[in-house]
């Protein structure tokens, strides 16, 4: 079961449009599930769960995009890796922080892009929040080699891409 999220809306950050477009392109135009959506999200997945839905329902086998609450990255990264084992595919947008315990979940990822700029998130009310004070990565869990190759081509202009 998912642990509690930090109080308030400090974890409510919306993915910018340019990232959503690239994630959608990587998933052949469709994001099946956004397990941590909010009222201001522009991800528009086929299924959108807010934090109240408690993202511990089964994710796979689906194409999932995760911009999870940064107050609890271990849980969201573990769930992303677990989705792969159930036949799903996940692209996650975590902080780029290999010094953390939760970063170990990226070991099972097929590809990763270390973004070459800070992400400018928006608030759910549409107000710009500005650039983050940390680097970010896009992490892909997939067993589909075609998906890995597509991810690499799409994200290469935006940072260093590593594949297995």
Pairwise CA distance, residues 118 & 110, whole Å: 23
Mean pLDDT for the chain overall: 89
The dihedral of CA 68, 73, 77, 79: what is its sign? negative
What does DSSP say about strands 111-115 and 159-163: parallel, antiparallel, or unpaired?
antiparallel
How many CB atoms lie under 10 A from the CB of residue 106?
20
pLDDT at 10: 60
The predicted structure's pLDDT at residue 6: 43
How do residues 18-34 score in pLDDT, each as one tens digit? Answer: 999 999 999 999 999 99
Mean pLDDT, rounded, for 54-72: 87
Is the predicted pLDDT of residue 135 greater than 90, yes or no? yes
| Domains (range + CATH), the chain | 17-163 (3.40.50)
């Amino acid at each position: 079961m998912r642990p509690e999220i930090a109080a308030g809306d400090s974890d409510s950050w919306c993915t910018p449009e340019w990232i959503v477009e690239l994630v959608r392109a990587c998933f052949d135009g469709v994001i099946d599930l956004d397990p941590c959506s909010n009222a201001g999200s522009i991800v528009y997945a086929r299924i959108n769960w807010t934090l109240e839905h408690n993202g511990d329902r089964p994710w796979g086998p689906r194409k999932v995009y995760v911009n999870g609450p940064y107050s609890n990255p271990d849980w969201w990264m573990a769930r992303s890796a677990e989705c792969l084992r159930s036949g799903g595919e996940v692209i996650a947008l975590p902080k780029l922080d290999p010094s953390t315990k939760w970063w170990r979940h990226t070991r099972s990822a097929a590809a990763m892009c270390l973004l070459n700029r800070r992400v400018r998130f928006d608030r759910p009310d549409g107000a710009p929040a500005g650039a983050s004070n940390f680097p970010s990565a896009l992490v892909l869990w997939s067993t589909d080699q075609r998906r890995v190759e597509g991810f690499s081509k799409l994200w290469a202009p935006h940072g260093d891409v590593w594949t297995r």
